[in-house]
């Protein structure tokens, strides 16, 4: 019974070892890579707070709001490893609670689920560069990024690293050239100059931005009519600031982003390193132990059989007793 029990234990251990190693291979090659992609059911919001100033086109006077800005990204469909994301940006006057419709923005993005880069030729316009920072952000490396409202791809420039709310983060700055960028005119929008500077703090393992401050300014040449002779006088085109904003993540968004970054940092470490090694190591040990138990039982049977054969042979050749 003891030998049979050892054989069963060996078979079970070997089978479990093979299962663990096979699952480890499946985890590394299929399951874990799929979990690290941008999800096809993505629905994520972040909020900013700060001041927003816009030019009143009737009075040519600036209107300033204390605003809460909500940026919502929702996956609407996908094709292979390209996910289409509807990104909505809404502005609310924090004093009145009323939305500011003239500032609402909406974009349809096409993002590579693996690299998190915009896919050129897809979405509602041609975009290049990162939609979000990738996994495993490298200290000292700059990244091309797409910033909403910019006519071209900008560079996220590495400027250092620091500790932030219990996380070690990399600090990046994104800025337009000193002279700004020209934003082409549209059907109801004049040509403008864009000046923008963004400072971000990024948790490197997950690529999650845990802090962001954004300063934006847009200027345009606005036609100004002669006050005395508006109908017949000369029209002057004057450079005016049509939009200016200073925004930063809200405290609630910072806490949520820090929580997400901490979780993903832990999950990526375990899922990408510790779990595969645990599966391979435990599976290999179990399979070897099971094989030893099975082989050991067979070896143990050999001397028993030989002893039995010798005893039988000895009995056959014993001299017959005299009657």
pLDDT in tens, 134-192: 999 999 999 999 998 899 999 999 999 999 999 999 999 999 998 999 988 877 778 89
The pLDDT value given to residue 315 = 46
Confidence of residue 232 (pLDDT cuts 50, 70, 90): low
Assign 200 to helix, strand or coil. Answer: strand
Residues pairing with 303 in the sheet? none
Please check the confidence at residue 33 and state whether its pLDDT lies above 50.
yes
Regarding predicted confidence, which is higher, 81 or 236?
81
Please check the confidence at residue 87 and state whether its pLDDT lies above 50.
yes
Please check the confidence at residue 308 and state whether its pLDDT lies above 60.
no
Q: Are 88 and 72 in contact (CB under 8 A)?
A: yes
Return phi, psi of residue 18, to 5°: -65, -40
Q: Lowest mean pLDDT of 35-49, 137-151, 184-198, 218-232, name the range.
A: 218-232
The pLDDT value given to residue 321 = 41
Confidence of residue 225 (pLDDT cuts 50, 70, 90): low
Confidence of residue 273 (pLDDT cuts 50, 70, 90): confident
Q: Compute the distance between CA of residue 65 and CA of residue 95 in angstroms, rounded to an integer.
A: 8
Q: Are 143 and 155 in contact (CB under 8 A)?
A: yes
Q: Give the DSSP H or E segment for 305.
A: helix 275-316
Assign 132 to helix, strand or coil. Answer: coil
What average pLDDT is seen over the chain? 87
Q: Compute the distance between CA of residue 281 and CA of residue 131 in angstroms, rounded to an integer.
A: 38
Closest residue by Cα to residue 201 from 141, 268, 254, 143:
254
The pLDDT value given to residue 2 = 66
Give pairs for 2-11: CB < 8 Å, separation 24+: 3/297, 3/300, 3/301, 6/293, 6/296, 6/297, 7/293, 7/294, 7/297, 9/290, 9/293, 10/289, 10/290, 10/291, 10/292, 10/293, 10/294, 10/297, 11/290, 11/294
Given the DSSP bridges, would you call strands 236-249 and 43-55 parallel, antiparallel or unpaired? antiparallel
Q: Which residue has the tokens 């925004």?
A: 247
Regarding predicted confidence, which is higher, 153 or 233?
153
Closest residue by Cα to residue 173 from 151, 191, 155:
155
Q: Compute the distance between CA of residue 244 and CA of residue 290 in angstroms, rounded to an integer.
A: 70
**Mean pLDDT score, 216-223:** 88
The pLDDT value given to residue 35 = 87
The total of other beta-carbon atoms located within 10 Å of residue 206's CB is: 25
Q: Compute the distance between CA of residue 321 and CA of residue 19 in angstroms, rounded to an integer.
A: 62
Q: Compute the distance between CA of residue 208 and CA of residue 269 in angstroms, rounded to an integer.
A: 15
Regarding predicted confidence, which is higher, 265 or 6?
265
Please check the confidence at residue 302 and state whether its pLDDT lies above 70.
no
Regarding predicted confidence, which is higher, 292 or 170?
170
């Amino acid at each position: 019974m003891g030998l049979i029990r050892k054989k069963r234990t060996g078979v079970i251990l070997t089978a479990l070892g093979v299962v663990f190693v096979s699952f480890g291979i499946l985890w590394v090659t299929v399951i874990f890579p799929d979990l690290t992609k941008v999800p096809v059911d993505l629905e994520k919001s972040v909020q900013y707070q700060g001041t927003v100033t816009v030019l009143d086109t009737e009075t040519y006077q600036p209107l300033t709001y204390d605003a809460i800005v909500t940026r919502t990204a929702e996956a609407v469909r996908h094709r292979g490893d390209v996910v289409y994301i509807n990104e909505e940006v809404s502005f609310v006057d924090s004093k009145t609670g009323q939305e500011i419709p003239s500032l609402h923005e909406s974009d349809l993005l096409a993002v590579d689920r693996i690299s998190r880069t915009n896919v050129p030729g897809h979405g509602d316009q041609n975009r290049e560069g990162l939609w979000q920072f990738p996994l495993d952000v490298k200290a000292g490396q700059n990244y091309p990024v797409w910033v909403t409202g910019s006519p071209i791809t900008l560079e996220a420039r590495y400027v250092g690293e620091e500790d932030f709310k219990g996380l070690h983060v990399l600090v990046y700055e994104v800025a337009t050239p000193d002279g700004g960028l020209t934003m082409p005119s549209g059907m109801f929008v004049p040509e403008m100059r864009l000046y923008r500077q963004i400072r971000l703090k990024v948790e490197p393992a997950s690529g999650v931005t845990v802090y962001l401050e954004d300063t934006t300014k847009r200027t345009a040449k606005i036609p100004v009519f002669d006050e005395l002779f508006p109908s017949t006088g000369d029209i002057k085109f004057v450079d005016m600031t049509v939009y200016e904003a200073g925004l930063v993540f809200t405290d609630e968004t910072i806490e949520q982003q820090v929580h997400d970054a901490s979780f993903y940092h832990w999950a990526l470490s375990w899922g990408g390193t510790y779990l595969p090694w645990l599966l391979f190591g435990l599976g290999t040990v179990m399979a070897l132990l099971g094989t030893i138990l099975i082989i050991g039982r067979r070896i143990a049977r050999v001397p028993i059989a030989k002893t039995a054969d010798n005893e039988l042979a000895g009995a056959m050749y014993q001299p017959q007793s005299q009657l």
